[in-house]
């Protein structure tokens, strides 16, 4: 009897090839969406104590009751979620991916009836964002003729459809949702850029999902579309942001130079030159603000030569980085300087978030070890 029940187990059904299921429930979700969700990675999740206890309690009901945990092959679930084409990519067990989806499955079987219980959690770099729970019914019957049906794949398809439906139901992957969950800065609402600074008009803003990346705004001159300015606002990655700024600015401006150099090399631009870094003191609202600066020049693939000026300063606990780019013959550093003065006078930047305060405290604690 126990041998027969083992054959009936969902986790063994693909071996026998003689067990079929009725159609499993498939939840409605959007596939092949124009806007892709970010890369996600799948992990088996160790069952909670409650999950284990419920499974054990079910098995104790009779010799006909069987429960098995985490028998689903995650690669099958990966295949089904990837097939929906809703994510940039779906990969297995990669700790370097920001978004992780953890899966715990339990197969509760009584003769020809079974429930697949699923506990799923969405994480961002170890921070849990949302939990989902499902109980998916499965009806089995034994049939003598072999079939080509892959029962485990069908179960994976059903589970994937429910997960995709719920991940799409809310804006779970937005910067605003993440900021709310982490108590980090909501850059979309808390950073206020002036509509105009000098001769430049605000064209648009982009909020990065990662709280350490902040927000980017672009300004341009309507009469000269190749004369534009990008403004980046993001937190100072230092536990001592409210101490002397010179060392912090010096390190960050070096990082900015390396980033520019890497991008230009990747684009195969030529004639790349950099000036040395300089710094000056601006007075904004009667307060002195240290600003670091460098200039670089390059030629693109269609032989246009550009000059770009990068400015960097600190306001509160945030870096403000400004990059002015224009054709060499039309570039005006005087206009860029005027922009900087107006921008720093008018921009509104929020204070330190709870997320950054906790993160900086962790950095300080590690230094004391």
- Using an 8 Å Cβ cutoff, are 284 and 346 in contact? no
What's the pLDDT score for residue 140? Answer: 65
Q: Name residue, tokens 């799409």.
A: 168
Here the CATH number for the domain that contains residue 343 is: 3.40.1000.10
Based on the fold, state whether residues 137 and 233 are members of the same structural domain: no
Based on the fold, state whether residues 251 and 362 are members of the same structural domain: yes
The helix or strand, by DSSP H or E, that contains position 55, with its residue range, turns out to be helix 49-59
Residue ending a domain, among 120, 137, 171, is: 171
**Binned average pLDDT, 10 residues per bin, the chain of 369 residues:** 37 41 82 89 94 94 94 94 95 95 95 91 95 88 54 92 94 94 96 96 96 97 91 95 90 96 94 95 92 96 94 97 95 92 96 95 82
Strands (E), the chain: 19-21, 40-44, 65-69, 90-92, 99-110, 113-124, 127-142, 196-197, 200-207, 215-221, 224-235, 270-274, 278-284, 287-299, 305-315, 318-327
C-alpha–C-alpha distance, residues 298 and 287, integer Å: 35
Based on the fold, state whether residues 266 and 331 are members of the same structural domain: yes
Based on the fold, state whether residues 23 and 155 are members of the same structural domain: yes
| Single pTM value for the model | 0.82
Residue-wise DSSP of 117-177: EEEEEEEETTEEEEEEEEEEEEEEEE-SS-----HHHHHHHHHHHHHHHHHHHTTTTSHHH
Based on the fold, state whether residues 215 and 321 are members of the same structural domain: yes
Residue ending a domain, among 140, 171, 202, is: 171
Here the CATH number for the domain that contains residue 137 is: 3.30.160
Based on the fold, state whether residues 300 and 356 are members of the same structural domain: yes
End-to-end CA, the chain: 60
Based on the fold, state whether residues 51 and 8 are members of the same structural domain: yes
Based on the fold, state whether residues 48 and 140 are members of the same structural domain: yes
Based on the fold, state whether residues 23 and 167 are members of the same structural domain: yes
C-alpha–C-alpha distance, residues 283 and 339, integer Å: 14
Q: Which domain holds residue 25?
A: 2-171
| Tokens linked to 254 | 């070096």
What's the pLDDT score for residue 369? Answer: 54
Residue ending a domain, among 116, 146, 171, is: 171
Based on the fold, state whether residues 78 and 188 are members of the same structural domain: no
C-alpha–C-alpha distance, residues 128 and 176, integer Å: 15
Based on the fold, state whether residues 201 and 343 are members of the same structural domain: yes
């Amino acid at each position: 009897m126990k041998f027969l029940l083992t054959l009936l187990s969902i986790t063994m059904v693909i071996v026998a090839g003689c067990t079929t299921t009725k159609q499993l429930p498939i939840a409605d979700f959007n596939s092949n969406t124009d806007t892709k969700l970010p890369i996600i990675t799948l992990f088996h999740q160790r069952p909670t104590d409650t999950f284990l206890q419920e499974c054990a309690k079910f098995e104790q009901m009779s010799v006909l009751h069987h429960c098995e945990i985490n028998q689903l092959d995650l690669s099958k679930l990966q295949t089904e979620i990837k097939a929906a084409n809703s994510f940039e990519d779906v990969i297995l067990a990669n700790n370097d991916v920001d978004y992780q989806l953890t899966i715990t499955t339990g197969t509760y079987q009584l003769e020809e009836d079974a429930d697949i219980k699923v506990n799923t959690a969405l994480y961002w770099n170890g921070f849990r964002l949302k939990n989902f729970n499902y109980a998916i019914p499965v009806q089995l019957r034994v049939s003598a003729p072999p079939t080509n049906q892959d029962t485990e794949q069908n179960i994976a398809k059903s589970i994937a459809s429910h997960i995709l439906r719920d991940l799409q139901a809310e804006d779970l992957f937005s910067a605003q949702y993440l900021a709310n969950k982490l108590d980090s800065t909501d850059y979309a609402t808390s950073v206020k850029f002036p509509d105009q600074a000098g001769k430049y008009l605000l064209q648009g803003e982009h909020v990065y999902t990662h709280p350490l990346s902040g927000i980017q705004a672009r300004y341009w001159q309507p009469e000269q579309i190749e004369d534009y300015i990008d403004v980046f606002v993001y937190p100072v990655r230092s536990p001592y942001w409210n101490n002397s700024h010179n060392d912090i600015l010096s390190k960050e401006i070096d990082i900015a130079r390396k980033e520019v150099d890497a991008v230009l090399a990747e684009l195969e631009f030529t004639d790349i030159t950099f000036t040395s870094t300089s710094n000056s003191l601006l007075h904004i609202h009667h307060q002195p603000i240290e600003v670091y600066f460098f200039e670089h020049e390059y030629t693109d693939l269609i032989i246009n030569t550009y000059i770009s000026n990068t400015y960097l300063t600190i306001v509160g606990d945030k870096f403000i980085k400004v990059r002015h780019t224009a054709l060499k013959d039309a570039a005006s550093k005087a206009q860029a300087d005027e922009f900087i003065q107006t921008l720093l006078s008018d921009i509104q930047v929020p204070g330190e978030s709870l997320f950054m305060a906790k993160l900086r405290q962790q950095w300080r604690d590690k230094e004391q070890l």
